[in-house]
Amino acid sequence: MSQIPSAGTRFREAVAAEQPLQVVGTITAYAARMAERVGFKAIYLSGGGVAANSLGMPDLGISTMEDVLTDIRRITDVCPLPLLVDVDTGWGGAFNIARTVRSLIKAGAGALHIEDQVAAKRCGHRPGKAIVPKDEMVDRVKAAVDARYDDGFVIMARTDAIAVEGLDKAIERAQACVEAGADMIFPEAIYTLEQYRTFRDAVNVPILANITEFGQTPLFTTTELGAAGVDIVLYCCGAYRAMNQAALNVYETIRRDGTQKAAVPTMQTRDALYDYLGYHAYERKLDELFASKPAD
| Residue among 71, 86, 116, 231 flagged as catalytic | 86
Clarify whether 44 is annotated catalytic. Answer: yes
Clarify whether 158 is annotated catalytic. Answer: yes
| Residue among 10, 12, 33, 113 flagged as catalytic | 113
Clarify whether 188 is annotated catalytic. Answer: yes
Clarify whether 88 is annotated catalytic. Answer: yes
Our measurement of the distance from residue 259's CA atom to the centroid of its chain's CA atoms, rounded to an integer in Å, reads 36
CB 64 within 8 A of CB 51: no
- Residue 133, phi-psi category: left (phi > 0), alpha (psi -120 to 50), beta (remainder): beta
Query: Cα(252)–Cα(86) distance, rounded to whole angstroms?
Result: 32
What one-letter code names the amino acid at 267?
Answer: M
| Residue among 33, 71, 116, 123 flagged as catalytic | 123
| Residue among 18, 71, 115, 160 flagged as catalytic | 115
| Residue among 18, 71, 88, 183 flagged as catalytic | 88
| Residue among 116, 183, 188, 231 flagged as catalytic | 188
Clarify whether 86 is annotated catalytic. Answer: yes
Helix (H) or strand (E) holding 99: helix 94-107
Query: Cα(290)–Cα(273) distance, rounded to whole angstroms?
Result: 25
Clarify whether 113 is annotated catalytic. Answer: yes
Clarify whether 115 is annotated catalytic. Answer: yes
Query: Cα(238)–Cα(227) distance, rounded to whole angstroms?
Result: 23
DSSP 79: -
If DSSP codes are grouped into helix, strand and coil, which group holds residue 143?
Answer: helix
| Residue among 210, 235, 236, 240 flagged as catalytic | 210
| Residue among 10, 122, 158, 173 flagged as catalytic | 158
| Residue among 44, 196, 235, 240 flagged as catalytic | 44
- Number of alpha carbons in the 13 Å side-chain half-sphere of residue 173: 31
CB 194 within 8 A of CB 200: no
Write the DSSP string, 21-75: EEEEE--SHHHHHHHHHHT-S-EEE-HHHIIIIII---SSS---HHHHHHHHHHH
Clarify whether 274 is annotated catalytic. Answer: no
| Residue among 10, 33, 59, 196 flagged as catalytic | 59
> Which residues are known to be catalytic?
44, 59, 86, 88, 113, 115, 123, 158, 188, 210
